[in-house]
Chain A
């Protein structure tokens, strides 16, 4: 369902052309749990941005569910981000003035769901991530782990087939990290494709397939044997 075909991305910094991604070919099937593993500056975040339709490749084609994304209009791309992709970021990116519930509701607002449906689903999601007693708290009243749970609940609001997590445990302690990764594993078991971006081998080990990225190229791609 995710198909990257000769993807390259370069930025112009001053007069210099800097290549971030070079000829990346990748195929992720529905229901997979893939880790994109690489050191900082390897281009893994750029790759995630392209997969998440936040960025467009310089050359190459990105097919999502058989549709070439670069051929779509900005509004259609917005719709894909809304309905097909859930994002989880290292810094949570919750809207500070909104309660946890309203944060989780937001993707459903953009999907024009009715208020009643939104409320009910947002409550159910917060309950699933174990935050039923934090529904009307604002982000600054939540711990890091709780914030990331809210972010995960929000990412799953429109039941997207793909979850993109960019260093989801980067700002968390190891115990909380473990809980968050378990939660992401559970979501994958529920049938959602998960792409996890990390620089940490131990975190990548939660995935069932590890793709190593170095200097904008795919270095290796292997299945993890569950232990």
Chain B
């Protein structure tokens, strides 16, 4: 009950000095607010980067690539073993492999009605939307039959439609030119990616069946085999078996499962962004320390100003412990209140940043709870010295204090 009375009296004295209390809290508010905002944007950004790297197709497919590509020290494509149609047949014959496909791509220029625009031509199977993260919003996607008969049909992204036909929903049924040959636009695609990268730079893509692509660019070398694994099989085990077969065929330790490689990159990104967030958060917590010093300063002033009050309270029977708690609670109320305001403001900043800057943010309750407890801790740390000074006052001197 005494604790409740002391909390109430702490609030009373903070309200009595509204402006001073607010200014004192400001340091804590800024400190907690910036930590919350930084951690939220940091964690959100980390997830966005991972989402951009971590293609959902990978969760279903295994991608076998020559090791030299992942190593990144390729000087000439001639040094890399490319997959031949025989390798595809080999892959299809591997137990557990349901489907084999490849998604080669090529930079080119597309023309229609005198307009040209640079695009990336991306080949793939009929389920390419799943892998490349788009959906066909106008017309249709090409089908396995289109692939089988090498049909010259393409799906263009909305940004391509916009630059060629002036509207991001136009283009279905129109003819366009690529490499001097005519293709029919059968669909317009919209990105389904949630990554920030796709929002910032909409892709100028043209999608077409792999067989059509090989006809158009016959010199294309295929450096990847993507496997769809039958239910009941582990994709990594199936991939390992195929890699062993391919290594034996080409006489060397030449191929690798890219899924494992990407998982490695994802881990690295998590570690790096985590470190960055921690460092920036640590810098922000300096504000919290400065805020804490402000609280200690103002509590010392408050103790001096209220020396007479302390004397009166002692004469009325307050024990040293009671006086200590009174000032300690005041400091804790000051910092936790500042902490709560800071959490709110930090959350608002993070929300604002994600709306304006297309930066995803992620408010974790751990960060909020952590900041709250930390600000309470700062209150105890910075309140204990002024409070103990108040409790050790000599009642007679305190009463006589002017």
Contacts and interface: CB of A to CB of B under 8 A. Distances in A.
Interface of A: 49, 52, 54-55, 74-75, 78-79, 81-83, 87, 89, 93-95, 97, 106-107, 109-112, 114-115, 154, 158
Nearest to A97: B16
B317 interface: yes
A79 B13 CA distance: 25
Given A78-B320, A79-B319, A54 B312 contact: no
A110 B315 contact: no
B316 A54 contact: no
Interface of B: 1-2, 5, 12-13, 16, 308-309, 311-322, 395-396, 399
Contacts, number: 65
B308 A110 contact: no
Would you call the interface of chain B mostly helix, strand, loop, or mixed?
helix
B2 A112 contact: yes
Contacts of B2: 109-110, 112
Contacts of B13: 97
A61 to B, nearest CB: 20
A111 B317 contact: yes
B37 to A, nearest CB: 37
A75 B319 contact: yes
B313 A54 contact: no
Contacts of A154: 316
B320 to A, nearest CB: 6
Contacts of A97: 12-13, 16
Across the A-B interface, the 6 shortest Cβ-Cβ residue pairs: A82-B317, A78-B319, A110-B317, A54-B395, A81-B317, A107-B316
A78 B317 contact: yes
Contacts of A83: 317
A114 B316 CA distance: 17
Residue from A75, A94, A106, A112 having most chain B Cβ neighbours under 10 A: A106
A114 B395 CA distance: 27
B317 A79 contact: yes
Contacts of B315: 52, 54, 81, 87, 93
A95 B309 contact: yes
A74 B319 contact: yes
B21 to A, nearest CB: 14
27 contacts: A52-B315, A54-B314, A54-B395, A55-B395, A74-B320, A75-B319, A78-B318, A78-B320, A78-B322, A79-B317, A81-B316, A81-B317, A82-B316, A87-B316, A89-B399, A93-B315, A97-B12, A97-B13, A97-B16, A106-B313, A110-B313, A110-B317, A110-B318, A111-B317, A112-B1, A154-B316, A158-B317
Contacts of A106: 313, 316
Contact of A78 (B309, B312, B314): B314
B320 A75 contact: yes
Given A74-B319, A79-B319, A109 B5 contact: yes
A82 to B, nearest CB: 2
A3 to B, nearest CB: 22
Contacts of A107: 316-317
A77 B2 CA distance: 19
Given A109-B5, A112-B2, A93 B318 contact: no
Residue from A78, A81, A97, A106 having most chain B Cβ neighbours under 10 A: A78
Contacts of B321: 75
A152 B181 CA distance: 106
Nearest to A105: B5
Contacts of A81: 314-317
Contacts of B16: 97
Contact of B1 (A55, A74, A114): A114
